[in-house]
Structure 1
Amino acid sequence: MKAINFKEFGEADVLQLGDAPEPVLRPHDLLVRNHAVGVNRADLTHRRGGYGRANFGDSDIMGLEIAGEVIATGAEVDGFQTGDRVMGIVGGGAYAEIARIDYRMAMHIPERLDYIHAAAIPEVFVTAHEALVHLGRLQAGDAVLIHAAAGGVGSAAVQLAHAIGTQVFATADASKLERVQQLGADRGIDYKTEDFAAVIAGATDGRGVDVVIDFIGAPYLERNLLSLADGGRLVQVGLLGGGKNAALPLDRLLYKHLQIMGTVMKSRPPQVKQAMVRRFSEQWLRHFERANLAPVLDSVFALSKAADAHRRMESGLNVGKIILIPFGNGA
Structure 2
Amino acid sequence: MKAITFDKFGASDVLKLGDAPEPVLRPDDLIVRTHAAGVNRADLTHRRGGYGWPDFGDSTIMGLEIAGEVIAVGANVTGFKFGDRVMGIVGGGAYAEISRIDHRMAMPIPAGLDYVQAAAITEVFVTAHEALLHLGKLQEGETVLIHAGAGGVGGAAVQLARAAGATVITTAQAGAHDLVRRMGAHHAIDYDNEDFAQVVAMLTGERGVDVILDFIGAPYFERNVNSLNFGGRLVQIGIMGGIENAKIPLDRLLYRHLHIIGTVMKSRSQEVKHAMSRRFKERWLSQFGKDGLMPVIDSVFPLAEAGAAQQRMEDGLNVGKIVLTM
What band does the TM-score fall into relative to the shorter chain?
A: over 0.9
Per-residue CA deviation, residues 18-40 of structure 1 (Å, 9 max, x unaligned), is 00000000000000000000000
Distance apart, 1:188 and its partner CA: 0.4
Q: Partner residue of 1:170?
A: 170
Q: Partner residue of 2:250?
A: 250
Ranges in structure 1 where 5+ consecutive residues have no aligned partner: 327-331
Q: Partner residue of 1:56?
A: 56
Quick one: distance in 2 between partners of 1:155 and 1:289? 16
Q: Partner residue of 1:296?
A: 296
Distance apart, 1:317 and its partner CA: 1.6
SS in 2 for 1:211: strand
Q: TM-score, normalised by structure 2?
A: 0.99
Per-residue CA deviation, residues 79-128 of structure 1 (Å, 9 max, x unaligned), is 00010000000010000000000000000000110000000000000000
SS in 2 for 1:21: coil
SS in 1 for 2:13: helix
Quick one: distance in 1 between partners of 2:135 and 2:290? 26
Quick one: distance in 1 between partners of 2:321 and 2:193? 25
Quick one: distance in 2 between partners of 1:177 and 1:291? 20
Q: Partner residue of 2:88?
A: 88
Q: TM-score, normalised by structure 1?
A: 0.98
Distance apart, 1:169 and its partner CA: 0.5
Residues 46 and 54 in structure 1, CA contact (< 8 A), matched pair in contact too = no
Q: Partner residue of 1:276?
A: 276
Q: Partner residue of 1:28?
A: 28
Residues 2 and 19 in structure 1, CA contact (< 8 A), matched pair in contact too = yes
Q: Partner residue of 1:149?
A: 149
Quick one: distance in 2 between partners of 1:289 and 1:110? 7
Pairing 1:113–2:113 present:
yes
Aligned residues: 326
Distance apart, 1:155 and its partner CA: 0.3
Distance apart, 1:290 and its partner CA: 5.7
Distance apart, 1:244 and its partner CA: 2.5
Letter in 1 for 2:260: I
Quick one: distance in 1 between partners of 2:14 and 2:140? 46
- Structure 2 counterparts to residues 295-314 of structure 1, below 5 A: 295-314=295-314
Q: Partner residue of 1:241?
A: 241
Cα RMSD for the two superposed structures: 0.7
Q: Partner residue of 1:285?
A: 285
Residues 15 and 307 in structure 1, CA contact (< 8 A), matched pair in contact too = yes
SS in 1 for 2:266: coil
Per-residue CA deviation, residues 160-208 of structure 1 (Å, 9 max, x unaligned), is 0111111110001111111111111111001111010000101111110
Q: Partner residue of 1:232?
A: 232
Distance apart, 1:68 and its partner CA: 0.1
Q: Give the fraction of aligned pairs with identical amino acids, expressed as a percent.
A: 68
